[in-house]
Chain A
């Protein structure tokens, strides 16, 4: 008894901090093989888990606890937090400070108390930019309480015994560059957001007192381009002018099988031109088969799954929006069911054992048999070409049949996508028949499906077989019908959430981790609305704001400015750009734009007046800067 007490007293203590309580609990469970003891801290949401573990070449006493996302927040110092404290343009240079918000003080106190008896601090936050930055916040708090603490970072993409064990055997220093990039982004978001938000809110509340008197009219450098995409597409739809067109359609029945031949000219926007050609054809309505081609045709299995694709596919196929998708995915990750869901990688690393992952799924009554089928030839992933060198593509890591509702739906999707990705392309055989009727060419094609392969496990895609009669070159026949049909061009569709994410991704607005949030923000601000068919339309306020800024010519609703910022952040992460330099450059760019916007604020009033009714003359008073 005495012996073990001495042992306990001399054992090295290690403080481990994860990003969320769930993660702390799961990691502790994995590391302790379920033997961790739970203890309370000051924050009732963030427990402490204790166990012994062999690390740093010795058996250590491990304390695993957590924060709840960011521990510190950035804000202006003291007086400048008040809306009327200064002219908003000053917000580009007034001093800022990182502080712990009131609701996280308890977490901070726990860390300060626990770190005192520890020799090492291991950071277990999510391995992405935000996670790295949260890690540095934890380090800051712990160092202040115990300056001699030795700090390490655990890198992992999934919460499995192997991954966690690998992480702790390969502890690394935390990555200052990545954290710096987040600091730069946070400071810019604060300054730009506060300056524009105060400017436009204070002004527009006065100019449209009846409509906007109580409304916060926020501005964010990601929010606005996102809104801009919605407005742009809406205007494209509005501006569209439909036009009639005509085409010739030929059908032929042979032994009850129908072939539909499409005109090589596709369609013509001139009635007379089409009529002339139609009469050419019907004068001597005999078709001659000029070519018959057959070739195997594959339908590609899906690529390894990254975050943007997950969001898009979940939105389209499961009707779960991006924000909800990421929330669920995060939970599935924390519970050890899937790998880390924030990843830009769509290439499976060679060292990942896909076979065991597939084997794990053979238990399922629905897709288990398919999984067994894959094992016969071995898994062959269809990889893309992107990697963030941090996380593998999203994949299941543990079989479960215990989930419900959307969690179950999303898990099933990730599993099916994974199994489809490592199986085989669907195989078909396509036959194309060309015919000639008085020098007009038509084409029909049929499809025979030889192997459904991945489609067996992937109900989110369809491939329809199409039978056509057998033709030989030189065959002549009289078509069952030759018709001149008319149609009308239609406007492009309004943006769906998946379309919007594609645009953000293409233009570098936000990151895979933040797309969903920006979309949520513009919805919450009533800048845009979602129609029942899942397509976005801009609201009056959103339209007016975008038109107002567009008319100033600074294209604040366009993606270029923000995309440039995102690019700088990337360079900081890679250690290719100094963070202070990037910060200064970006601040001065946005400050310039801000000053121009203030000078031309009338244009904002005018644009909004189209939607919100007459504008009240704006007069600057002491309390309504600028």
Chain B
């Protein structure tokens, strides 16, 4: 049991660069075994460790009280981080577009008539074309941090499920508590957190922001 647990712990670290707490891991393995006995499924180690990873994706890192970020990042004007930081997405907004127009999109109250003006050639459009920039609130389970889509992402967008786990890795600039994320320092694991999804419907987030 101890052996299996430490083997899986290593596997999580080496394959996924995630450092999990022992007590959570042991409880998790125990629970998986019980489930497997009930359903008579093969409990070989490969199955178990995959299920552990799955459980980690679906968990709330705050409940795990995990921690990987250095303390006091928000008070630093600029710092370069190096390492692997598995983080959980707490909220996502597009700060390249006004909340009002995003809210209208979500509520389906957009109206093409509003964009119509007699003068299409001379006047600038009523509002300039927005350029997307995602802005995140993240947590490592203990420390909260913000992040911005410094270079356009392909893997994340405003529809991304809250509680999605990502890995921020390599060398990353952090200014005033904001991580500068780009495709080549950000990996998306997936996952979700039910309570975050329930408590933060997109409409509510946008309304709150206005």
- Measured CB to CB, the residues of A under 8 A from B are 229, 232-233, 236, 240-241, 243, 245, 264-270, 272-273, 275-276, 279-280, 283, 312, 315-316, 461-462, 489, 492-493, 496, 498-499, 501-503, 506
B78 touches A499 (CB 8 A): no
Smallest CB separation, B83 vs chain A (Å): 21
The answer to whether B118 has its CB under 8 Å from any CB of chain A is yes
The one of A280, A312, A315, A493 in contact with B175, judged by C-beta atoms closer than 8 angstroms, is: A280
Smallest CB separation, A101 vs chain B (Å): 37
The one of B96, B118, B146 in contact with A502, judged by C-beta atoms closer than 8 angstroms, is: B118
Smallest CB separation, B18 vs chain A (Å): 27
Q: Which of A243, A264, A315, A498 has the most CB of B within 10 A?
A: A243
Chain B contact residue count (CB 8 A cutoff)? 33
Contact with A along B168-184 (1 / 0, CB 8 A): 00000001101010000
The answer to whether B44 has its CB under 8 Å from any CB of chain A is no
The answer to whether B122 has its CB under 8 Å from any CB of chain A is yes
B113 touches A489 (CB 8 A): no
Pick the interface stretch among B2-10, B34-42, B97-105, B191-199: B97-105
**With A266-B128, A461-B122 in contact, do A236 and B114 touch (Cβ < 8 Å)?**
yes
B116 touches A499 (CB 8 A): yes
A229 touches B128 (CB 8 A): no
CA distance A279 to B210 in the complex (A): 26
A265 touches B111 (CB 8 A): no
Return 12 A-B CB contacts under 8 Å, by A number.
Answer: A232-B113, A265-B133, A266-B129, A266-B130, A268-B95, A276-B148, A276-B180, A279-B176, A462-B122, A489-B127, A499-B117, A502-B117
CA distance A240 to B66 in the complex (A): 43
Nearest B residue to A462, CB-CB: B122
B99 touches A502 (CB 8 A): no
Consensus secondary structure, chain A interface:
helix
**With A240-B100, A265-B131, A268-B95 in contact, do A279 and B78 touch (Cβ < 8 Å)?**
yes
Smallest CB separation, A552 vs chain B (Å): 19
B116 touches A506 (CB 8 A): yes
Nearest B residue to A262, CB-CB: B128
The one of A269, A498, A503 in contact with B119, judged by C-beta atoms closer than 8 angstroms, is: A498
Consensus secondary structure, chain B interface:
loop
B135 touches A270 (CB 8 A): yes
Nearest A residue to B175, CB-CB: A276
B-chain residues with CB within 8 Å of residue A229 when the two chains form the complex: 113
CA distance A38 to B74 in the complex (A): 94
B-chain residues with CB within 8 Å of residue A243 when the two chains form the complex: 98-100, 210
Smallest CB separation, A159 vs chain B (Å): 30
**With A243-B210, A265-B131 in contact, do A312 and B126 touch (Cβ < 8 Å)?**
no
CA distance A264 to B96 in the complex (A): 11
Smallest CB separation, A247 vs chain B (Å): 10
A492 touches B128 (CB 8 A): no
B-chain residues with CB within 8 Å of residue A493 when the two chains form the complex: 117, 126
Other 11 A-B pairs with CB < 8 A, given A232-B113, A489-B98, A493-B126: A233-B114, A264-B131, A269-B96, A269-B98, A270-B93, A273-B95, A276-B180, A279-B77, A492-B115, A502-B117, A502-B118
Nearest B residue to A302, CB-CB: B121
A-chain residues with CB within 8 Å of residue B116 when the two chains form the complex: 499, 502-503, 506
A489 touches B100 (CB 8 A): yes
A269 touches B210 (CB 8 A): no
The one of B77, B93, B126 in contact with A492, judged by C-beta atoms closer than 8 angstroms, is: B126
CA distance A279 to B176 in the complex (A): 10
Q: Which of A265, A268, A489, A501 has the most CB of B within 10 A?
A: A268
CA distance A266 to B127 in the complex (A): 11
Smallest CB separation, A337 vs chain B (Å): 26
B114 touches A276 (CB 8 A): no
CA distance A315 to B19 in the complex (A): 70
A241 touches B118 (CB 8 A): no
CA distance A506 to B135 in the complex (A): 38
A241 touches B210 (CB 8 A): yes
B-chain residues with CB within 8 Å of residue A245 when the two chains form the complex: 98
List of 3 A-B pairs having minimum Cβ-Cβ separation, nearest first: A498-B118, A270-B95, A276-B175
Smallest CB separation, A528 vs chain B (Å): 16
Smallest CB separation, A499 vs chain B (Å): 5
The one of A264, A273, A316, A492 in contact with B114, judged by C-beta atoms closer than 8 angstroms, is: A492
A279 touches B122 (CB 8 A): no
Smallest CB separation, B174 vs chain A (Å): 9
**With A498-B119, A499-B116 in contact, do A273 and B135 touch (Cβ < 8 Å)?**
yes
The one of A236, A272, A316 in contact with B146, judged by C-beta atoms closer than 8 angstroms, is: A272
Q: Which of A264, A265, A270, A506 has the most CB of B within 10 A?
A: A270
Smallest CB separation, A149 vs chain B (Å): 47
A496 touches B118 (CB 8 A): yes
Q: Which of B99, B133, B210 has the most CB of A within 10 A?
A: B133
CA distance A125 to B119 in the complex (A): 34
B-chain residues with CB within 8 Å of residue A283 when the two chains form the complex: 78
B113 touches A233 (CB 8 A): yes
**With A273-B178, A275-B176, A276-B176 in contact, do A266 and B119 touch (Cβ < 8 Å)?**
no
